[in-house]
Chain A
Amino acid sequence: MIERAQHLAAEARDAVHGASSTADLEEVRVRYLGRKAELPQMLRQVSQLPAEERGGAGQALNEARRAIESAVAGRAAELEEAELVARLERDRIDVTLPGDPVRELGRLHLITQTRREIEDVFLGLGFDVAEGPEVDLVHYNFDALNHAPGHPARAWTDTFYVSEDVVLRTHTSPVQIRAMEAAPPPLYVIVPGRVFRPDSDATHTPQFHQVEGLAVDEDVTLADLHGTLLAFARATFGDEREVRLRPHFFPFTEPSVEVDVSCFQCRGTGSVDGGRCPLCKGERWIEILGAGMVDPNVFGYVREYGYDPERIQGFAFGMGVERIAMLKHEVPDLRLFYDNDVRFLEQFG
């Protein structure tokens, strides 16, 4: 009996190994361990054996059964995995079909995206962000910025008027004055915001956006303006960029400069693939903003708030947000910014 059990166990183990599917294996299991199979029947007969034989036989038979069960379980795991692998292999999708997003993402407007990029550069340089009203007083927009009473920028052709003393601000510069009225020096702020001028064509919209900068301290210099704007230009247009200051005239700065950045399309060479660079028109430089040292007359308007032109000095600059965005992203027409066409909006932000 014991021999028979050992024989059955060996035979069953071979059969288990020979099973090539879970169905096969089930058949093998029934054949050796099923109700009517030999080994279970022998197990049931153990109780009828003489007492002295029962222990040995029972132990041998149980061992044989456990050996078969363990072989079946082991083989079952192997076969199930193989069958899963085969099933998965057959379960193929077209991975090139479009995805189905949990939720489509929206977009920031290119103006906001650009404004944030500019803000972040200057935040890193130690400037705060100041803001002011878009409808403002002539005092802040012109008078305190040293625009003579007859200055052409004040004309109705150049400024939207609400009344004799109230205008839609033509630049973010009035916030310079408001910021100085609000806090004594040292003052390091940039002023992003919407401004207005009565012009409308491919390069002018009656509203657009600027970022103004103002640094006032005891020892801020024109060279500091140079370094600050160089840092800005490199952060915005690439680490290899240079900036160039060019003398100019603005009523509220003295000296005044226009600031050029070396062309990032032709890398300042003026030519691309042997032809004239389309971005800088072969000039090698691109004008990006106006700047200068704050005119002492401007401080004269805020002297009582701690701005004594004999004690402090400062620089100021102003740039067009749309202009920076157009340069960076090759947007050809300013009016696209205000059509709010989703086919435009989805390209940025």
Chain B
Amino acid sequence: MRAPLEWLHDYVRPDLPAAELAERLDMTGTKVERVERHGVGALDAFVVGRVLEAERHPDADRLTVCRVDVGGGAEASIVCGAPNVATGQTVAVARPGAVMPDGTELRAAKLRGVVSEGMILAEDELGIGTDHTEILVLDGGAAPGTPLVEVLPIATDVLELEITPNRPDCLGVYGVAREVHAATGAPLQAPPWSEDPGSAGGVEGVEIEVRDPDLAPRFTARRFDDVTIAPSPPWLKARLMAAGQRPINNVVDITNYVMLLTGQPLHAFDLDRVAGGRLVVRRARDGEEVETLDGEVRRLDPDVVVIEDAEGPTSIAGVMGGARSEVSQDTTRVLMEVATWIGPNIQRTSLRLGLRSEASARFEKQLQPEQAMEAQAVAAQLMVQLCGARLVEGTIDVGGPGPEPAVLALREARVAGLLGAAIPSGRSAEILRSLGFGVADGEVLSVTVPHWRRGDVEREVDLIEEVARIDGVDRLPATLPARPDRGGALSAEQHARRRVEDALVAQGLYEIQGWSFQGPSVADRLRLPEGDPRRGAVRLANPLSEEQSVLRTTLLGSLLDAAAHNAAHGHPDVRLFELGAVYPARADGHVPAAARGPAAERPGAGELPDEARRVGALLCGALAPASWRSPDAPRADFFAAKGALAALLDWMRVPWSVQSAREPFLHPGRCATVLLDGEPAGWLGELHPLVAESWDVQGAAGFELDLDRLAALAAARAARFRDVTSFPPVRQDLAVVLPAEVPAARALDVVRKAGGDLLRSVRVFDVYRGEQVGEGRVSLALALEFQAPDRTLTDEEVAERRTAIAAALAAELGGELRG
């Protein structure tokens, strides 16, 4: 909303510079996005002039050399290109030094050899109109030398306001004036609709029928005869221009001017082109078409309200007029329509048709029925004054004004209780009155809501907001809630998730934030077969693009996208991780957390996806940058990924293991399922070369785990002290030759079981395949550590355990001890 100060000053004139006014409005809830200077600068250089002599330029047929009286006994020689310049005219003159609306400074110049000491101006050159074909000819009243700004509104500050959706009353200059009055205390003039030249009752020759009053609470119309279509006077054009509207002709300009002043849109019909002189307001039929003012043919549906005459729809109510009954150069009879529509319906219509106008933008915020007659009153004044029109007796008014005003109670204690600072009742009453509320004093204020705030102020708390914002919320004290009972804390799971992040950072991984949405092709690029649950992605109904149309079901695509981005920018060696949500479609019978509890009963609960948190990591290329001491860093592979995973899970103190497995996106021989506390919770492996190729990354390995499960397991396991110093451990090595197909983890399981409580730890420190152990055999070297919590172990005890381990390896796995 653009509010030119020059216009605003008709109704309220605070004694404040524009910047301070803007600040004051900002601080009372009317956001000023900027203060713009509209029109010309260096006002002293703009004066009224009189053309004393106008002669053809000696060397240019189209130019005229004028001698112009610019006041104070001075004359200026000015070359003018306009065809209508003539001796005796009173004109607008810019002298050298003048700053034009586009910011350029005017200088004396030679035009085809003749010096021009300034410019005789057309209205567009002053920013007060769009006409450039002719110079502006002023009426003769002003003496040469009079500052032009005293005659024409050639410069004004314009407040560019952001009006919040609850304040449609501020979508007009007078509404803004009310706010300025309340915010600054400057006196407010009576509204422009105080005097209505019109009368009530039927209007001859016009009939209106409203068939759907639920969508058209009020419909008013007046008839104007003997209308002369002409350009509007400069002052009106200037205001429209400053407010951002192009002048068209007097009747159209009046509808725009009144809308900008009152906030209420109007529509002018050429009554002679309203077939049958009868308008019907009704829902459109499905598929019905109407040609709008912009020349487009629009297809409608029954939620759209149309206004039709005997020949069919002429306009789309509240959104755009029709071409057929538009006011034209030949119009002599005007039917001025001002109506109230249902905001959400207008919004829906405007969205559905992709049609947004100044009118629809106002209607969709829900205007009040009283505003319709306010606009009729101002329009009638102007139609008579500017178009020579005769206002035909009567006003068609279907629907009438809105409901009786609400009366609300305002308690002083409630104000203090909500704000945390007292505002005396007297002050509250003063503020509310300044905003146009009626206030009856008493222990409890009894407050009557004016019609223009009907949609916004319905409860005591709404009144408190009004009082608080004008009194100044910036002056409230800064206190803290008085609650001594407890401090805040992360939940154990939240704490565990931070530890996951920290563990991965400590291992040299960079955290990324991937996109929650991706293209449907990602499932193909990951080689997910038909029927894979990870293909059942949730699709957006209105994606920004196909590439962002489905929700991810794995973090791997995001990690690969990030790796590919970096590879393409010269960084193929990256170590990345992400903690984030995935959104697989719901598996049969499983109810996600988001759909449990009270949510279960709500509409759509059955459509929520199986949203879950995951942690994923991807290592690509070299695991560390080459340094001058170690030029060949190890490269990402299965065991690098497993090492990172092991470090993470051990640090999280979660029992885990892996089993050989298959995933479509992983190397079939280098792929495992990760089990957390015995339950499958993710994958680990080297990427399938075709998947890596699809993203153009090389040598990649990674893992992805169910983060919710990991965090829950970690949260359930507090670290507890374990004695390590009282009794010394006994360390022994053991080499066992096993059939090659026995997984190491299986061997370790057997060792642990046979080792019993005394076996504190076992780890693989060498793996050997080759001639010495024979075809199809593998030798594992194991480091065993025995320890008891309550005594020093004897050699016999250790030997007994070792024998048991050897026996178990032999019996269960066909293993034999070496050396």
Contacts and interface: CB of A to CB of B under 8 A. Distances in A.
A206 B487 CA distance: 35
A181 B597 contact: yes
B505 A107 contact: yes
Contact of A221 (B417, B510, B592): B417
B488 A123 contact: yes
Contacts of A116: 498
Given A133-B608, A222-B468, A188 B481 contact: yes
Nearest to B162: A248
A128 B491 CA distance: 8
Q: Which range contains the number of B residues in contact with the other chain? A: 35 or more
Given A134-B581, A182-B597, A255-B473, A217 B481 contact: yes
Q: Name, among A105, A151, A162, A220, the residue most crowded by chain B CB atoms within 10 Å (CB to CB).
A: A162
A205 B566 CA distance: 20
A254 B468 CA distance: 11
Interface string B509-521: 1111111110000
B468 A134 contact: no
B627 interface: yes
A340 B512 contact: yes
Contacts of A132: 594
Q: Which range contains the number of A residues in contact with the other chain? A: 35 or more
Nearest to A127: B488
A112 B513 CA distance: 9
B565 A341 contact: yes
A194 B491 CA distance: 19
B513 A150 contact: no
A206 B548 contact: yes
B692 interface: no
B628 A97 contact: yes
B490 A119 contact: yes
Contacts of A276: none
Interface stretch (A45-53, A80-88, A136-144): A136-144
B539 interface: yes
Contact of A255 (B464, B481, B505, B516): B464
Nearest to B593: A133
B390 interface: no
Interface stretch (A26-34, A57-65, A163-171): A163-171
B501 interface: yes
B605 A137 contact: yes
**Chain A facing B: main interface SS:** mixed
B481 A349 contact: no
Given A112-B501, A123-B489, A226-B477, A340 B513 contact: yes
Contacts of A107: 505, 510-511
A222 B611 CA distance: 36
B576 interface: yes
A227 B608 contact: no
Given A106-B505, A168-B540, A219 B417 contact: yes
A345 B473 contact: no
A199 to B, nearest CB: 8
Interface in B2-37: 26-29, 31
Interface string B583-608: 10000000011100111001111011
B476 A162 contact: no
Contacts of B742: none
A248 B360 CA distance: 23
Contact of B515 (A119, A149, A231, A338): A338
Contact of A98 (B494, B603, B627): B627
A293 B461 CA distance: 10
Contacts of A221: 417-421, 479
Interface in A199-233: 200, 206-207, 215, 217, 219-224, 226-228, 230-231
Contacts of B465: 247, 254-256
Contacts of A228: 480-481
A345 B511 contact: yes
Given A150-B343, A161-B541, A340-B512, A129 B598 contact: no
A137 B478 contact: no
Given A106-B504, A123-B490, A206-B548, A247 B512 contact: no
Contacts of B709: none
B514 to A, nearest CB: 7
A54 B140 CA distance: 151
B602 A135 contact: no
A349 B474 contact: no
B722 interface: no
Interface string B448-482: 00000000000101101100110001101111111
Contacts of B419: 221-223
Contacts of B83: none
9 contacts: A103-B506, A116-B498, A123-B490, A135-B611, A150-B347, A165-B604, A222-B473, A226-B477, A249-B166
Nearest first, the 5 closest Cβ-Cβ pairs linking A and B are A150-B344, A165-B604, A223-B420, A221-B420, A247-B29
Given A116-B498, A226-B420, 7 more contacts: A109-B513, A136-B594, A156-B351, A162-B607, A206-B544, A227-B477, A338-B515
Interface of A: 97-98, 100, 103-109, 111-112, 116, 119, 122-129, 131-140, 148-152, 155-157, 160-166, 168, 178, 181-182, 186, 188, 194, 196, 198, 200, 206-207, 215, 217, 219-224, 226-228, 230-231, 243-249, 254-257, 293, 295-296, 305, 313, 337-343, 345-346, 349
